[in-house]
A and B are shown apart, each in its own frame.
Chain A
Amino acid sequence: MEEFIKYIIKNSDYLLELMVQHLELSIFSVLAAIIVGIPIGITIARYNKFANITLNLISIIFTIPSIAMFGLMLPILGTGNLPAFIALFLYSLLTIVNNTYTGISSVDKGIIEAGKGMGMTNLQILFRIKFPLSLGVIFAGIRTAVVINVGITTIAAFIGAGGLGKMIFRGIYTVENKVILAGSLSIFLLAVILDYIGRIIEKRFSHSYQK
Chain B
Amino acid sequence: MGEITLTSLAGYVINNVPFILEMMAYHIFYSAIAIFAAAVIGIILGILSARISRLSFLINISAVIQSAPDIVMLALMIPLLGIGPICALAALFIKGVLPIIINTYAGIKNIKPGVVESAIGMGMSRSMILFKIELPLALPVIMAGLRAASVINVSTMTLASYIGVNGLGILIFRGIAMYEGNILIVGSILTSLLAINTNFLCGYFEKRAIKWKQ
Least CB distance from A180 to B in Å reads 5
B191 near A151 (CB under 8 angstroms)?
Answer: no
Q: Within 8 Å CB of A75, what residues of B?
A: 1, 4, 181, 184-185
A68 near B75 (CB under 8 angstroms)?
Answer: no
- With A172-B75, A180-B75, A192-B67 known as contacts, the answer to whether A72 contacts B155 (CB < 8 A) is no
Tell whether B187 is near chain A: CB-to-CB under 8 Å. yes
A206 to B199, CA, bound (A): 31
Least CB distance from B11 to A in Å reads 16
A72 near B185 (CB under 8 angstroms)?
Answer: yes
Q: Within 8 Å CB of B25, what residues of A?
A: none
- Give chain B's interface residue range (CB within 8 Å of chain A): 35 or more
A188 near B184 (CB under 8 angstroms)?
Answer: no
Least CB distance from B103 to A in Å reads 16
Least CB distance from B187 to A in Å reads 6
Q: Of B120-128, B169-177, B205-213, which stretch is located at the interface?
A: B169-177
B188 near A168 (CB under 8 angstroms)?
Answer: no
Q: Within 8 Å CB of A60, what residues of B?
A: 196, 199
A159 to B68, CA, bound (A): 20
Tell whether B69 is near chain A: CB-to-CB under 8 Å. yes
- With A71-B188, A188-B68, A192-B67 known as contacts, the answer to whether A172 contacts B163 (CB < 8 A) is yes
Tell whether A171 is near chain B: CB-to-CB under 8 Å. yes
Q: Within 8 Å CB of B196, what residues of A?
A: 60, 63-64
- With A71-B176, A72-B185, A74-B184 known as contacts, the answer to whether A172 contacts B67 (CB < 8 A) is no
- With A63-B196, A65-B158 known as contacts, the answer to whether A168 contacts B4 (CB < 8 A) is no
A74 to B184, CA, bound (A): 9
- Listed in ascending order, the chain B residues whose CB lies under 8 Å from chain A are 1, 4, 64, 67-72, 75-76, 78-79, 83, 151, 154-155, 158-159, 162-163, 169, 172, 175-176, 181, 184-185, 187-189, 191-192, 195-196, 198-199
10 A-B pairs with C-beta separation under 8 A: A65-B191, A68-B192, A151-B71, A154-B69, A172-B83, A184-B72, A184-B76, A187-B72, A191-B67, A192-B68
